[in-house]
Structure 1
């Protein structure tokens, strides 16, 4: 079982790679805003992804970014994003099932309380 911190980190990596795959020329500020994280936190994440060889920074003259670079997923980054996507989806489905079960229990409890108070 992975730790909560490790799952949160993987979720952040997933979200960053997902956005970058579609929009490689976003600035760090734009990417941080989309993710709801600080620019410093995003910078730390991007450095970690680059350190793992999952993302690389390329010079690109037509980028809207004033420094003229884009962030692209490497072939291993694309493969890792696929694996992370599978794990992310599995976790979210488990969370969904747990919530669905809890909602059904709460509905039953509310119906019982409602029928008891009507008597």
Structure 2
């Protein structure tokens, strides 16, 4: 079982891998905006994914824009994204079940309490 902070870090990693797989040309600024995190945190996370070998950076040498990069998931990155997806889904399903139980409890409370 992972703690809340680890789960949040996994969620960010999962969302970054997911976004980069869908759009490898995102800049770190665009990535930060899409995730609602600071540019510094996005940079830190991208560097960590690069260091772990989960993504690789591809520079378009023929491009006129010398800052044109693409982030590509490596085979290890694809495997990690699949594992993160399963854990993310498990956490979200558990949250859903907890919310559903809380809603049912609140509905029963409303039915039992006297109406004003």
TM-score, structure 1 normalization: 0.90
Matched, 1:69 2:54: no
Q: RMSD over aligned Cα, in angstroms? A: 1.8
Task: Provide the rounded CA distance (Å) in 1 between the counterparts of 2:98 and 2:16.
Answer: 27
Correspondence 1:34-53 to 2 at 5 A? 34-53=34-53
Task: Provide the rounded CA distance (Å) in 2 between the counterparts of 1:106 and 1:112.
Answer: 10
Query: Please, which runs of 5 or more residues in structure 2 have no aligned partner?
Result: none
TM-score, structure 2 normalization: 0.92
CA contact (8 A) 1:61 1:69 kept: no
Task: Provide the rounded CA distance (Å) in 2 between the counterparts of 1:112 and 1:103.
Answer: 14
Q: How many residues align structurally? A: 116
Matched, 1:88 2:113: no
Query: Please, which runs of 5 or more residues in structure 1 have no aligned partner?
Result: none
Deviation by residue 1:23-68 (Cα, 9 ceiling, x = unmatched)? 00011111111111111010000011111110111112577x7602
Task: Provide the rounded CA distance (Å) in 1 between the counterparts of 2:40 and 2:66.
Answer: 19
CA contact (8 A) 2:60 2:66 kept: no
Counterparts in 2 of 1:91 and 1:98: CA distance versus 1, 3 Å: same
Correspondence 1:13-52 to 2 at 5 A? 13-52=13-52
Task: Provide the rounded CA distance (Å) in 2 between the counterparts of 1:56 and 1:9.
Answer: 20
